[in-house]
Structure 1
Amino acid sequence: MMNGLQQTFTLAWRSLVQVRRNPWELGDYSIQPILFLVLFLYVFGGAIAGSPDDYLEFVLPGVIVMNMLFVTVYVGHGLNTDLTRGVFDRFRALPIPRWAPLAGRILADVVKQALCIGLLLAVGYLLGFRLATSLMHLLGMILLVLVFAVAFSWVMVLVGVMARDPEHVQLFGFTALFPVTFVSSAFVPVATMPEWLQGFVYANPVSLLADAARALLNGGPAAAPALGSLLWALGIALVFAPLSVYALNRRLARG
């Protein structure tokens, strides 16, 4: 187990170092979320909250959650790239556990997620956002989002294993995430939506996570949405982690 963990850290470092050779990926982690935050704030802020300043405390947690989901797509993208280029064939010849490359990818994603959250919080502060709770609440929000990111990364691992090439991973990943992300409470109050849609929005795990993050940053009841988010994360991990390992074993067995 200790050797497997050490190999996981080594493979995670490999995934992080690859960013230097692909600076566009770093742009997706940094420039894209800032653009989303600024566009949502100054384009929709006046219509939704009356002013950009009032909308900032509502939309910042939503953008953090949205960006977390989108960044997980690169876990599947990188994994599929390794599979299609034969890197996993080389891993099979090494004395490492089969789960180490998967765990390494996810661990590297956690580091990238933490950097993205810190960047968005810093930009939000420059735009006028101020923490209304405490440092412990802030750390709790970051930890909650990272836990959900780890769980949801297994979904994209499965997509990366099953997809034919990296382009299909991105196509399927972003296409599936857009409706789940935007049909939620991440960017607008649920009360403004049609009644027939509100039931889905309330049950959407993205809504629960956005509400929990918003409460931990701005104040309010956070226990119920945070617990719901953790239960969703646990359920996603229990379903998709075994499926991902099984699908990987089948793909490698087929050669």
Structure 2
Amino acid sequence: MNPLSNLSAEMEELLGSFMSQPIEGDLIFGLTNYIFWMGVAVILLFVVLFAFKRKQAQSLVPQGVFVNGVESVIDFVKDGICKSTLGDTWQKHFPFLAALFFFILINNMVGLLPGGHPGTGTIGVTGALAMWSFVYFVYVGIKRMGAFGYIKSLAPKGVAFPVNLVVWLIEVFSTFLRLVTLAVRLFCNMFAGHVVMATFAILASLFFEPLLHGFSMVALGQAGASVFWVAILLAIYGVEILVGVIQAYVFTLLSSVYIQLVEEEE
């Protein structure tokens, strides 16, 4: 029996399992599989942060792999994103950007658990994150320049009418496009990565399954091929860990860039 003969049916079931499915209620007002795992991620994040604060308070000098590791990540967000992008204004925006980074990161990592569905793997959650980022940098712009001043700032100075109106419309569209690109980029990377990993897991199981039904040299050879698929799966798993970190960094970095643009708008 060709192990690949069942691949189509398995892939159809796989893609169905990655769709939002209600655990309680319905898709509109219920608890879905993605929201459940997002809740798990948030609880885990609070546990990590409370444990970090407790251990950190035990000594003036950071001690232990856990405390030093968390402090390294915090310093990375502070120095690698906030200070390098926002300059002197980094402190007032650090809490928001750090919350974004850690929320996305913990969801991406929880999604790598067997059977896990990352909150960032659904467009509803990534859309909400993008909306918060959008509202935040628009709020910063309005607070700094006033509502009319911010709207006016979208058109460059020194450009004659009606060219300035055309440029203003393009900038308005570009500003709203940031919301879409933030949401779609994060969603697509997380969703596609987990589908790829699950595909290789299915291939490994399909090639090993004949050996469970009866021993033969053909079945043994197919089971040996499953080792190849497992090796690729492990390699992709490592890549997905890196992608999860990179996507949290990219989302937060772009948000800080948008904040910087309105902070330094002249």
- Normalised-by-shorter TM-score class: 0.3 to 0.5
Q: Calculate the TM-score normalised by the size of structure 2.
A: 0.37
Larger radius of gyration: 2
Q: Calculate the TM-score normalised by the size of structure 1.
A: 0.38
